[in-house]
Amino acid sequence: MNIVLSGVKPTGIPTLGNYLGALKNFVKLQNEMTDYEFFIFIADLHAITIPQDPKELRANIRNLAALYLACGLNKERLTLFIQSEVSAHIEMGNVMQSLSYMGELERMTQFKDKMIKNPNGVTAALFTYPALMAADILLYDAKFVPVGDDQKQHLELTRDLANRFNNRFGDTFQVPEILLTKVGARIKDLQDPSKKMSKSDDSQSKGCIYLLDPLNVIKKKIKSAVTDSEAIVRYDVENKPGISNLMTIYSAITNLSFSEIEKKYEGKGYGDFKGDLAEIVAEEIGKVQEKYNQIINSKELDEILNQGRERATQIATRKIHKIYHKLGIGRF
Ligand code: AMP
Ligand code: TRP
């Protein structure tokens, strides 16, 4: 069976941006790609490339797993697991490091950006992060990898490494293809629509909706979102970034087009529009929270993660032994 695989870092509580840009998209892909198996893992080894508080990290890992399930992924066609529980990722990461050149890793824009911002804070693991990411993907011979465009360069490196290995040691890896998450669903900060809604924001932030915010807080954040003085519901990112962002959220949840939304609110002010949007978002997130609350402390969540660990370990261990054999190391 062909595999679609993606990883998510458990840093912070996911936002409405993550939900509309990533989580909801997985559910859509799973419904569309019916003859694919889905592998989703919590990339906790990637998270520790920058300092984390262990207590928070442990909670974030569990929250994220529960939120993925709460979004409506079909458990029957899903392998959900925690990266650090499948030790072949580290083993394969080491193989990929042996295959990567310093120059290649130095060219990664994510690394370069962090180096400019805080050169003393860049760990060796942050530098080799793309080799571990290639390992995550190649271990399972994933055919498609759905990610945002910020991960495009890492995916290209993964393809280079797969081809390099295949050329040197014979056909071993499926060369994966990127499945770019459709843009358009780039949700902006509600208080400052010039920047992306991001989970690294302060948790008190009024501009960022977290999936675990109480529903009344979510409604309040939407009602106090920054707009403009024209008071006409019209999509115009350049001149009306605030209302356009709110329309993007409206459209992503209801599937109404921008012109349909404009028509619906013709002659009405922002108050009506925001009031409706607040209800729509609260209803959607409310459903996710309801399922989340059922699952977060349940045995079922551990069972799903145990099954995921077993299935992933089985595939990944077989693969790493094959690779060690090809490399001539160990006695495999
Ligand atoms: P991050 O929170 O940056 O680790 O991103 C995790 C996933 O959520 C990636 O696939 C991003 O493309 C997506 N994502 C993050 N923030 C947003 C946003 N504001 N709007 C849409 N998608 C987002
Ligand atoms: N690097 C990805 C991110 O920052 C997360 C990730 C780690 C990943 N390993 C992966 C994504 C493998 C897809 C496939 O968002």
pLDDT per residue as tens digits for the range 216-228: 999 999 999 999 9
Encode pLDDT of 306-327 as tens digits: 999 999 999 999 999 999 999 9
- DSSP structure class, residue 21: I
For residue 129, the CA-to-ligand 2 centroid distance in Å is 9
Q: Classify the C-alpha dihedral 153-155-156-162 as positive or negative.
A: positive
Choose the residue to mutate in 18, 113, 180, 253 for probing ligand 1, maximizing ligand atoms within 8 Å of C-beta. 18
pLDDT in tens, 111-137: 999 999 999 999 999 999 999 999 999
CA distances from 54 to 60, 83, 183 (A): 10, 16, 34
Atom of ligand 2 nearest to the CA of 43: 7
Give percent above pLDDT 90 in the chain. 92
CA of 20 to the centre of ligand 1 (A): 8
Helix locations, the chain, DSSP H: 16-18, 24-32, 44-47, 54-70, 88-99, 102-106, 109-117, 124-138, 152-169, 215-223, 241-254, 258-264, 270-295, 299-327
- Whether 295 is in the pocket of ligand 2, judged by its Cβ within 6 Å, is no
Whole-angstrom distance, CA of residue 201 vs CA of residue 50: 16
Which band of pLDDT confidence, cut at 50, 70 and 90, is reported for residue 201?
A: low
What band does 9 get if pLDDT is binned at 50, 70 and 90?
A: very high
Has 114 been annotated as catalytic?
yes
The full set of domains in the chain, from first to last, is: 3-181+298-327 (3.40.50.620), 215-293 (1.10.240.10)
Q: Which letter, b or e, does each residue of 167-185 get, where b requires 16 or more Cβ atoms within 10 Å of its Cβ?
A: eeeeeebbebebbebeeeb
Q: Where residue 21 falls among pLDDT bands split at 50, 70, 90?
A: confident
pLDDT band at 22 (very low <50, low <70, confident <90, very high): confident
Query: Residue with the nearest Cα to atom 13 of ligand 2?
Result: 6
Ligand 2 pocket member 131 (CB < 6 A): no
Residue 184 has pLDDT above 60, yes or no: no
- What pLDDT score was predicted for residue 256? 94
Told to judge if 199 belongs to the known catalytic residues of this protein, a careful annotator would answer yes
Average pLDDT across the chain, whole number: 95
Which pLDDT does position 186 carry in this prediction?
Answer: 84
Residue 203 has pLDDT above 90, yes or no: no
Establish whether residue 9 lines the binding site of ligand 2, counting it when its CB lies within 6 angstroms of any ligand atom. yes
Q: What percent of the chain has pLDDT over 70?
A: 98
Q: 233-272: per-residue pLDDT in tens?
A: 999 999 999 999 999 999 999 999 999 999 999 999 999 9
> At residue 1, does pLDDT exceed 90?
no
Please compute the mean of the pLDDT values over residues 277-283 and round it to a whole number. 98
Given the residues 9, 24, 114, 240, the one annotated as active site: 114
Residue 206 catalytic? no
Q: Which pLDDT does position 199 carry in this prediction? A: 81
